[in-house]
Structure 1
Amino acid sequence: MSGTNQEARRVKDTVPAAVLIARSLTLNRRREAGWRLRYRHIDTAEVYMTEKAVGKVVKESGLPREDFFITTKLPLYHKDRVAESFAKSLDNLGMDYVDLYLMHAPQTVPYEEGNPFPLNTDGTLKTLSSPTFNEAYAEMEKILSSGRAKAIGVSNFSVKTLDELLTTATIIPAVNQVEMHPYLAQKDLLEYHRRKGIATEAYSPGGHGNLIREEPSLKALALKHGVSTTQIILAWHISRGVIILPKSENAERQKQNLNLPTLDKDDIDIIDGLERGERLIAKLDGNGIWVGWTKEQLGW
């Protein structure tokens, strides 16, 4: 099926540099500096248990709701109750709409009260074959049509799962939020997004811990431009047209994340050379599984 494009440019234009991530209850410390530094896009999710905190700090900011770009997500365990889950998220946020509603991952897990990741007796995550992500996305399209979500998209999808989704989707996802950093540049996925008109959001854009930031080539580039290695990495993402979701509670680092150098082609080529197809966040376990799916199912 040939889907209709949403205004993915609106998402890109709204978040030209960085997003304030609400993944923990330390949101208050992040927002106190963040509002002053022009952070207006907040990324939350039902599973983070921060939606109420996001609603509270937006209300207390004194800024109009329309000044913010709010993203939340459909959890893996609510694919059979999309409308109800979305309504609950709006209630948690204290808002009548969100700017972007994402499917958190393609997998479906059964809902168990108070247990977001139920396990089988062998310790593996329980997964279900139904409802499929195609079916859940069709319900998200209804939410888009209602105007209560200004855009819809996905997260942790590959070229394979996107291709499967687009066989039934009537609306092309505005965004795919994925792990992306110099060790995992995902060039094929990024090019696919460009062809389809899908905006790319990179979570953990600097990887995990200091591993990537300690690369000698990045330190040399940081010295050349008089900035931090984190700023070099984020500037590389921006040069590729990627929306970045860095995570920091430090006011000075938040400020740095909004003031990035312009890299030349040689700089970009050096960072491109760090690619090694290595996942640091969403990675397979010792049994070759991530959130209940094999590498083949995930399309990795």
Structure 2
Amino acid sequence: MWQVPDEQAESVVATALEAGYRSIDTATSYRNERGIGAAVAASGLPRDEIVVTTKLWNGDHGTEETLRAFDTSLERLGLDHVDLYLIHWPLPMRDRYVETWRAMEKIHADGRARAIGVSNFTAGHLTRLMETCDIVPAVNQVELHPLFPQRELRAFHAAHGIATQAWSPLGSGHGLLDLPVLEEIARAHGRSPAQVAIRWHLQLGNLVIPKSATPSRIAENFRVFDFALDDGEMAAIADLDSGLRRGPDPDTFDYG
């Protein structure tokens, strides 16, 4: 739900739920929690069928700050719990993410977040959490797409039971979907390059959250469960790895 205005969020989520989606990803910084909550309430679906994720923003690190920010998110969403609550960025230069994680553990213990995790953490940040805290993050949501597949970090996650979730799974407009490799594979399957990229994620075992506010693309992005890529196609996509991050560097990002 990144970059979806609050006044449009209810209709966008309603369209996604009608298409079959059951996971909604937002954040305090997206400023659309109220619209998402309204869509969940109006959906008529049982609450336990919808996975709602939101994230703690950078200015709210710290024990009391985290607890207050979480209360505010719940109020905006109109919910009594979220399914997944994430620290949005580690901000290592501020050195408060361990304290913040302990507050997240309290939120989890109170049953107000069914799972807790992080976003944009490196293996080093995760190791520090695991060495000093009680709960291993359920999820690490990171920039991940065929141009930046994060092989080493995915392997680290797998070794420690952390789910890998991909933001910017389609490359966020950096030309990924125009590459001849994806276009050729898409033609072979009668699919779009976006569907091929999403299928690549699924076959790697990534949790994937493609972003769109366009109804036709929302529906298209969901139609990825009735075809599969063969080993050669997966290898061809793997060769697209540029090793270059498009978004901010988690070790230096300090904003908000």
The answer, yes or no, to whether TM exceeds 0.5 is yes
Matching residue's letter, 1:78: D
Amino acid at match of 1:70: V
Residue 134 of structure 1 pairs with residue 114 of structure 2: no
The amino acid of 2:201's aligned partner reads H
**Paired letter, 1:69:** V
Cα shift readout 1:248-286 (whole Å, capped 9, x = no counterpart): 1222222221222311100000000000111122359xx
Output the amino acid matched with 1:290. Answer: F
Measured on the aligned residues, the alpha-carbon RMSD in Å equals 1.7
Which stretch of structure 1 is more off in the superposition, 144-153 or 31-40?
A: 31-40
Question: TM-score when scaled to structure 1?
Answer: 0.79
Q: Is the contact made by 1:207 and 1:281 (CA closer than 8 Å) also made in structure 2? A: no
Q: Which amino acid aligns with 2:77?
A: L
Distance, in Å, in 1 between the alignment partners of 2:141 and 2:30 is 16
Shift of 1:208: 1.9
* Residue 291, structure 1, aligned to residue 254, structure 2: yes
1:225 matched to 2:209: no
Partner of 1:52: 34
CA–CA separation in structure 1 for the residues paired with 2:252 and 2:138:
28
Q: Which residue of 2 aligns with 1:82?
A: 66
Question: Structure 1: how far apart are the matches of 2:2 and 2:145?
Answer: 20
Using the TM superposition, give the Cα deviation of residue 289 of structure 1 relative to its aligned residue in structure 2, in angstroms.
4.4
How many residues align? The count is: 249
Structure 1 runs of 4+ aligned residues shifted over 6 Å read none
The structure where helix makes up a greater share of residues is 2
**8 A Cα contact 1:178 1:200, kept in partner:** yes
Deviation at 1:290, TM superposition (A): 2.8
Report the Cα offset of residue 107 of structure 1: 0.9
User: Distance between the aligned counterparts of 1:23 and 1:134, measured in 2?
Assistant: 29
Q: Is the 8 A contact 2:118 2:139 kept in 1?
A: yes
In the alignment, does 2:144 pair up with 1:180? yes
Secondary structure, in 3 states, of the residue corresponding to 2:98?
A: helix
Amino acid at match of 1:64: P
The counterpart of 2:43, out of the listed 40, 54, 61, is: 61
Structure 1 SS opposite 2:70: helix
CA contact 2:14–2:39 (8 Å) conserved in 1:
no
Deviations 1:228-253 (A, max 9, x none): 00011110000110011101122222
Cross-structure match for 1:72? 54
Partners of 1:283 and 1:216 lie apart in 2 by 28
Identity value in percent: 37
Gaps in structure 1 of 5+ consecutive residues = 1-20, 109-126, 293-300
SS in 1 for 2:133: coil
Please state how far the C-alpha of 1:212 moved relative to its aligned partner: 0.6
- C-alpha displacement at 1:66, in angstroms? 1.7
Separation (CA, whole Å) in 1 of partners of 2:194 and 2:174: 9
Alignment deviations for residues 27-72 of structure 1 (CA, whole Å, 9 cap, x no partner): 2342232121111111111111111111111111122222211001
SS in 2 for 1:219: helix
Match of 1:102 among 86, 103, 109: 86
How far apart, in 2, do the equivalents of 1:272 and 1:194 lie? 18
Tell me whether 1:144 sits opposite 2:108 in the alignment.
Answer: yes
1:63-95 Cα distance to aligned partner (Å, 9 max, x none): 222221100111111112111111111111111
Residue 21 of structure 2 corresponds to residue 39 of structure 1: yes
Cα displacement (A) at 1:22:
5.1
Tell me, yes or no, if structure 1 residue 265 matches structure 2 residue 215. Answer: no
User: What's the counterpart of residue 279 of structure 1?
Assistant: 245
2:180 to 216, 222, 233: 216
- Structure 1 distance, partners of 2:189, 2:235, is 16
Report if aligned partners of 2:142, 2:165 keep a CA contact under 8 Å in 1.
Answer: yes
The reply to whether residue 159 of structure 1 matches residue 159 of structure 2 is no
Equivalent residue, structure 1, for 2:167? 203
| Matches of 2:60 and 2:78, distance apart in 1 | 20
